[in-house]
Amino acid sequence: MSTVLVVDGANVVGSRPDGWWKDRAGAARRLHEGLLVADTPYDVVVLVLEGAAKGGVRAGRDGHARTVHAPKDGDATIVAETRAAAERGDRVTVVTADRMLQAQVQGLGALALGPGWLLDQL
């Protein structure tokens, strides 16, 4: 059994008023870089990106991190990633401030944490 952290990239980036809206791709890249070096207790980190943020990080694996480009909205991709990990028997934590998304992933057995928790880890 692995531990998996699924990150709602848009939600985490959007939680800090640091000018991210001027450069969504750059903000996604900075988040990705932070996740690569963060000392978290997770075996796998899945960063879900949508829209213009996808231009900042290529889809695929980078060490223990995997970036997924959402084809439409990030929420559906986050739910799919959570479901797949839970079906494998992995312990899943999802980082998002979206309360409806939190309820969905909790219904799949995941722990849901807010962006502040993750930003404190970075």
Write down the pLDDT at residue 122.
Answer: 86
DSSP secondary structure letters along the chain? --EEEEEEHHHHHHTS-SSGGG-HHHHHHHHHHHHHH---S-SEEEEEE-GGGGGGS-SEEETTEEEEE-SS-HHHHHHHHHHHHHHTT-EEEEE---HHHHHHHHHTT-EEE-HHHHHHH-
Write down the pLDDT at residue 22.
Answer: 82
Identify the CATH number of the domain in which residue 94 sits.
3.40.50.1010
Q: How many domains does the chain have?
A: 1
| Range(s) of the domain holding residue 41 | 3-121
Write down the pLDDT at residue 109.
Answer: 96
Write down the pLDDT at residue 6.
Answer: 98
**10-residue stretch averages of pLDDT, the chain, 122 residues long:** 94 81 88 92 95 93 94 94 97 96 97 94 87
Write down the pLDDT at residue 13.
Answer: 85
Write down the pLDDT at residue 81.
Answer: 97
Write down the pLDDT at residue 59.
Answer: 96
